[in-house]
Structure 1
Amino acid sequence: MKNDTNTELTITPIFNDHCQQILGLILPIQQIEFNVPITLDDQPDLLNIENHYHQTGGGFWGAKVNDELVGTIALIATEDNAGTIRKMFVKKEYRGKEMGTAQLLLNTLINHSREAGITDLYLGTVDMLKAAHRFYERNGFERKLSEEMPSCFRRNGGENVYYHLQLGAATN
């Protein structure tokens, strides 16, 4: 996809060799931009994404412009043909409908999920991220109460807003 700066945005799976880039993107968004009281110690998955994401049958994808990581999204595949979405972050300069970064990341995760036989996606976020709520709702996610989330949903500290998306069967 071309954006307004005439650079190519690509979405590809990323692995442990990208951990430092991932930390450089996610931690400042969490801690500085949104003042979420979370540290690297609270997120050990970021130091071994292959084990926490890829090996479950899920994945971890990065949006890159040139060689710069500008966005991430991750999936933990769980039992009952379900998956938990994690680590959806996009650098401020690459957010919004015009850029389409978040939409491309989510589409990639949904396509992978369908191909893997995942029929239900769940996620948790925080109440202050109103734009994220609108984004998920525009994409068909339904808001759920905490107690409505299934036991297979992998909870993360600090979450207080929950969503579910039921996927249709894969189309070939």
Structure 2
Amino acid sequence: MKPVILPIENKYENAIAALIINIQQKEFNVPITLKDQPDLFNIQNFYYAGGGGFWGAFVNDELVGTIALVKFDEHSAAIRKMFVKKEFRGKEFSIAQQLLETLIEFCSKNGINDLYLGTVSILEAALRFYEKNHFVRVEKESLPKDFPLMTPDNVFCHLSLKK
């Protein structure tokens, strides 16, 4: 059962919101609401219009994972909304890996040399995943000035895509 990774837009906003809020609130008790994430209901303008993107992983037409990219300067972007439904995590499906590779391929084709992300320290498996993919932890103070901060984030990572 190989997942299909596709660019997704506003027509999937309810499925996206349900997937993400369920993981954030119910699974990890991250204190964040849909109101705190208006981007989820404005994907076209928030992600695509600035040169970023939003991808979904589908298994049997069900949305089981997401990843998004916010371009915040000419050669830099931030990963957002990287979530995979609990039943579809791990090496067996490799959905997170395929989502990340799709995003990195997009960056390479579009002149994005630096990828950043913010997350919360409770998401230990996510942090291990990023480190396995050569992301390096950085201090909040060393982030680019235009990096789009999210309130709950307390761990930050960087990946240089320059060859």
TM-score range, shorter chain: over 0.9
Superposition pairs of residues 115-154 of structure 1, within 5 angstroms: 115-154=109-148
Looking at structure 1, the residues matched to 146 and 111 of structure 2 have their Cα atoms a distance apart, in angstroms, of 16
User: Paired residue for 1:34?
Assistant: 28
Mapping for residues 1-172 of structure 1, pairs under 5 Å: 7-169=1-163
User: Distance between the aligned counterparts of 2:60 and 2:42, measured in 1?
Assistant: 24
Contact 2:57–2:63 (CA under 8 A) maintained in structure 1 = yes
User: SS at the partner of 2:58?
Assistant: strand
Paired residues of 2:2 and 2:93 also in contact (CA < 8 A): no
Q: Distance in 1 between matches of 2:2 and 2:158?
A: 31
Q: Give the SS at the match of 1:151.
A: coil
Q: Which runs of 5+ in 1 are unaligned?
A: 1-6
What percentage of residue pairs aligned between the two structures are identical?
56
- CA–CA distance in 2 between the matches of 1:144 and 1:134? 15
One-letter amino acid matched to 1:161 = V
1:168 CA displacement: 2.6
Answer whether contact 1:82 1:152 (CA < 8 A) is retained. no
List alignment gaps of at least 5 residues for structure 2: none
Runs of 4+ in structure 1 displaced over 3 angstroms? Answer: none
Does structure 2 conserve the Cα–Cα contact (< 8 Å) formed by 1:141 and 1:163? yes
- 2:49 partner amino acid: Q
Amino acid across the alignment from 1:91? K
Q: CA deviation at 1:99?
A: 1.2
Tell me by how many angstroms 1:110 deviates: 0.3
* Deviations 1:80-134, CA, capped at 9 Å, x for gaps: 4000100000000110122100000000000001101000000000000000010
TM-score normalized by the length of structure 1: 0.93
Aligned to 1:53, the other structure's residue is in SS state: helix
Whole-Å separation in 2 of the counterparts to 1:105 and 1:10: 10
TM-score, with structure 2 as normaliser: 0.98
